Every structure is written in C-alpha cells, then in structure tokens.
Amino acid sequence: MKIYSWNVNGIRAIKNKGFIEWVAGEQPDVLCIQETKIQEDQISDELKNIEGYYSYFSCAQKKGYSGVAVYTKQKPISVTYGIGIEKFDSEGRILQVEYEDFFVFSIYFPNGQKDEDRLNYKMEFYDELLSYCEILRAKGKELVICGDYNTAHNQIDIKNPKANEKYSGFLPIERAWMDKFISYGYVDTFRYLHAEEVKYSWWSYRFKAREKNVGWRLDYFFVTENLLSKVKEANILNEVVGSDHCPVSIVL
C-alpha cells in the first residue's frame, strides 16, 4: 500500500502543472494533500473525480487559505473532518479517513511565524491533536499521521540550524513537542529508516533556495509503533516540482 502526502500550496495552481497526470503515473493508494487553498464551490469535477479515486476535502472558512484533502482508491469506512474544536476545524486543517486496520490523517499544522498568538495557536493545536490521537489509540486502531508539520525536528532536518533557532519552525518549544510526540510512541518513518540521510521537503521561493538545496524537512509520516513493522519504505520525493514542498511517501 502506497501512501503519499504533499503540501501543494494551492491545488488549482498545481493542477495546471500536471498534478492529475502525476497522480495517474504514481498511482498512490492514498494521497493526502495539504494547503489546497480552495472552497467547496471551487472544486472542479476534474479535481474531485480523478479516475480511480474517491476524494474528500476539508476547506477553511477563509477563502484561499489552508485546507486539506484525501484521495483514496479504497472507500474508507468513515471520514472525519476536524477534531471537534471549532477554532482549528474552521481552518480546514485535519481530515481523517478510517480503514479496517488503521486511520490515516492528512494534516496541515499551523505556521507560528506571524506572531506570538499564532505560535500559541500552533502549540495548542499540537497538544489537542496528540490528545485526540491518544483517544483513538485507546480504541485499538493504529494511526498514520502525515502532512506538513511546519517544524524541522533536529539539526539534520534543516540546512542552517544556527541561523534559524530563534524562528518559528525550529524553535526549542516546537522541537520539544516533536520529542514529546515520539515519547508517546509515534515514529518518524523517514528518520527510522534513514537515520543519517540529509533530505529536505520544503525550500523558500527566494534566493534560489531549492536550486541550492537550502531546505527544511517539514513534511512527515508518523505511525504508531505497532504499524512500524509494516513500513517497508519511507521516501522524500524531492525531484517532484510544482510546489515549494515536495511529496513524501511510505509503503506499507
């Protein structure tokens, strides 16, 4: 089973760059999308009905902002939009699909760079999500939690760690939450399989950052420990262009 995740930075923009053709070529079993920047009434039939896939969209109330989606070959048992907290759900940041043995989450975690209020919002989002995931785990199902976490975890995950240690995305408080997440038994699949590999999933549009590979690893697949034995591959597809992020994937 191939599961992909991609912050597309606007699904209508990426459609014009060969997105549907890319999906047809890759044939993921599940494709999680973040930062769709689309409203329900703007989703074209072409985007909604990609051949061979069911599609689900969670859109932000604010136009042109945030939003997540899931494309899946197998119809899920259930689809859940958000985690029941209005100030997070109104931004269209979480979509959860249920299969027989596990849940898959497509999540666009908040960016905390704007100001202290948004950093606090981000940290609260992190904690509320963890609480929600723990409730699901207590019911006996495993979790696949993918998306743009908006934090580079360790120095290996960012090109210039020293220069960015005072900026949201690499703050000690954010990185400490990633440690906390792992301490609860969630595993970073890429780092588990590629302990020393330096690879990034986001590059600024400025200063030819992608050309120079001055990047950050912000996009992750975390799985619960009992799923780890089923993870056969974890990849960062940094040759795929069209967004400031590249796709990441796992094979179960």
The residue written with tokens 């997440």 in the block is 181
**Residue 95, helix vs strand vs coil:** strand
- Where does residue 193 rank: exposed (0-12), middle (13-18), buried (19+ CB within 10 A)? middle
Calpha distance 177→155 (Å, rounded): 15
Query: For this structure, is 219 an active site residue?
Result: no
Strand ranges inside 52-176, DSSP E: 54-58, 68-72, 78-81, 94-98, 102-108, 142-148
Calpha distance 33→68 (Å, rounded): 5
Longest alpha-carbon distance in the chain:
48
Catalytic residue among 115, 117, 148, 157: 148
List the catalytic residues: 148
